A = this chain, B = another copy of it.
Amino acid sequence: MAAVQLKEAQDRFVAVWGQMGSAWGISRTMAEVHALLYITGEPLCTDDIMERLQISRGNASMSMRALLDWGIVERVHRRGDRKEYFKAEADVWAMFRAIVRERMKREVDPLRAQLYEIRDQTGERAGREQSADLGAHNKRLDDLLRFFQALEGVSNSFVSPAGRGLQAAAKILGYIGGAPGIGGLGKESDDTKEAG
């Protein structure tokens, strides 16, 4: 019977997505909650999630809050129902833009700031000579800083409001660099806002 088959596929997706999450420094549960919301497509409440994922209320609540902070899940209210429901961003590209934006903000930007500080710590004191060692050290830091600057640039043009840029670039680069199509997946879908 089809409902069972669907549920199994969903569970499998949840497991896979959760595993991926933990490989990328995201708590497994948080990724699982997101997976569940994404794959079911419909708004779920805390109790739905607790039951389906067999996790505690506290954990479900924390994970939901985190997902809201990341901007890839939103609150939904139903008239005549006091409970809050949650629904995942349905547009995959919007979702990854949000993730990139957040990780840059939380991890890469502070890292850059720290690297600057370290660089300053051994910076040239106006015109004073420095040892070859210090020079090489500074050059290595500068190389890294330049790389992160480039990364920041790429990320901005992906993330920004008009940020369809990289999406287009990805398509082009995708065809240059890789296989020209997923066999059997058929046409591009434009209706990414299906559940909006």
- Restricting to A39-90, which residues have a CB under 8 Å from any CB of B? 39, 41, 90
- Restricting to A117-167, which residues have a CB under 8 Å from any CB of B? 118, 121-122, 130-131, 133-134, 136-137, 139-147, 149-158, 160, 165-167
How distant is the Cα of A142 from the Cα of B185 in the complex, in angstroms? Answer: 7
How many residues in A have their beta carbons less than 8 Å from beta carbons of B? 74
What chain B residues lie within 8 Å of A169 (beta carbons)?
Answer: 154, 169, 173
* Cβ-defined contact, A189 with B150, below 8 A: no
What chain B residues lie within 8 Å of A137 (beta carbons)?
Answer: 6, 9-10, 39, 41
What chain B residues lie within 8 Å of A196 (beta carbons)?
Answer: none
* Cβ-defined contact, A142 with B2, below 8 A: no
* Cβ-defined contact, B111 with A20, below 8 A: yes
* Cβ-defined contact, A194 with B136, below 8 A: yes
Known: A2-B134, A137-B9, A139-B189. A149 touches B165 (CB 8 A): no
* Cβ-defined contact, A176 with B157, below 8 A: yes
* Cβ-defined contact, B122 with A9, below 8 A: yes
Indicate the member of A136, A165, A194 with the most B CB atoms within 10 Å.
Answer: A136
Q: A147 contacts which of B20, B96, B155 (Cβ < 8 Å)?
A: B96
